[in-house]
Structure 1
């Protein structure tokens, strides 16, 4: 498979989240990735534009401005685990989910993959925040139409500048197979994954 490369990508699947923890010294760890079943679509636009510094009558220097990504993750239904872990809804004694405006949501890594004609392309966004999904549905008519839920996702850089990672044509088999066991961190990063 070393000489074969993907020509196309399609079909979002295997969406997971892993809670992000930053201690008082700024060390970053992640929880174990948790599946988000029912992925429908993802659309994340790059956030941040390069800007030019002009001198001597031309663009003397271009400043890179990578502020991450913003967009939407559409899923069949937001799982209860995500509502509790990330959106910080509380389960009361009767196992009813209660939303509290005084509680801050949690940041997380978002993992997912696209099918390819040769090999699946696996991604991780390291520092994500999600907004609460809208509440909507409609009455049944001649046919039942499934109503999905959408999370607005903002992915920003970690303090070391890392925004995302994805598998490539020659990613090692060990890294590829372990992608959803723990959040992948490059060997160049002084961050360790939580066991």
Structure 2
């Protein structure tokens, strides 16, 4: 299904992922979603027998996700990258020893038929990426913050993504609480 647009980009910290369950923090909105690019890494293999393709299989390893927004507050950068914001000076402090937490991402896109597709990516880590800043010349060129991360399947259930469409009436209750929690209660 073709989509147009992107909005309501949220993240939630993954507190626990074990074979018995998962726990997430409260979802936090990132203002001004520009783009989310998901690129699953899939390995294909073909078994040949009797001089012809006999069987085919694939396995997925990781999903590269790039997120771009109009603004990424220092508090959000700290939460997503494992940095800290100094409580006195309010400046971001990034250390080489910082470790990014696992997070979930949630967002929505308008479908070409006027309904909405809702997406949750369930377990991933972001890393610092290249930052570009440019002087203003004869024309204005915006540079927007981007984060790149790697998403994987959860230990709990092997899931890596959830998708719901608003034109599926059975999903109405689920969609109503889409941004209040990663997992429905």
TM-score range, shorter chain: 0.7 to 0.9
**Residue of structure 1 aligned with 2:68, choices 49, 74, 87:** 74
Offset of 1:29 from its aligned partner?
A: 0.9
CA deviation profile, 1:51-96 (whole Å, cap 9, x unmatched): 2233444443333302242142111222223212121221223221
Closer, same or farther: CA 111–23 of 1 in aligned 2, 3 Å: closer
In the TM superposition, residue 177 of structure 1 has moved relative to its aligned partner by 1.1
CA 1:64/1:134 → structure 2, altered by over 3 Å: closer, same or farther? same
Give the structure 1 partner of residue 133 of structure 2: 137
After superposition, the C-alpha distances for 1:10-66 in whole angstroms (9 at most, x for unaligned) are 101111001012267663211111101111112221212232233444443333302
Q: Number of paired residues?
A: 180
Instruction: Decide which structure has greater strand share.
Output: 2
Match of 1:174 in 2: 173
1:89 paired to 2:88 = no
Return closer, same or farther for 1:15/1:102 CA change in 2, 3 Å cut-off. same
- The 3 A distance-change label for structure 1 pair 65 and 23 is closer
Q: Secondary structure of the equivalent of 2:42?
A: coil
For the structure 1 residues 23 and 123, does the alpha-carbon distance in structure 2 shift closer, same or farther, using more than 3 Å as the test? Answer: closer
**Does the 8 Å contact 1:134/1:149 carry over to 2?**
no
Q: Contact conserved, 1:133 with 1:149, CA < 8 A, in 2?
A: no
Q: CA RMSD in A?
A: 2.1
Secondary structure of the 2:61 match is: coil
Long gaps (5+) in structure 1: 1-6, 186-192
Q: Kindly indicate whether residue 183 of structure 2 is the aligned counterpart of residue 184 of structure 1.
A: yes
Distance in 2 separating the partners of 1:119 and 1:153: 28
Q: Which stretches of structure 1, 4 residues or longer, exceed 4 Å deviation after superposition?
A: 23-26
Partner of 2:158: 161
| Structure 1 position 52 matched with structure 2 position 46 | yes
Segments of 5+ residues of structure 2 without an aligned counterpart are: none
C-alpha contact 2:17 2:154 (8 A) present in aligned 1:
no
- Hey, what's the Cα distance between the residues in 2 that align with 1:95 and 1:66? 41
Tell me if 1:28 matches 2:25.
no
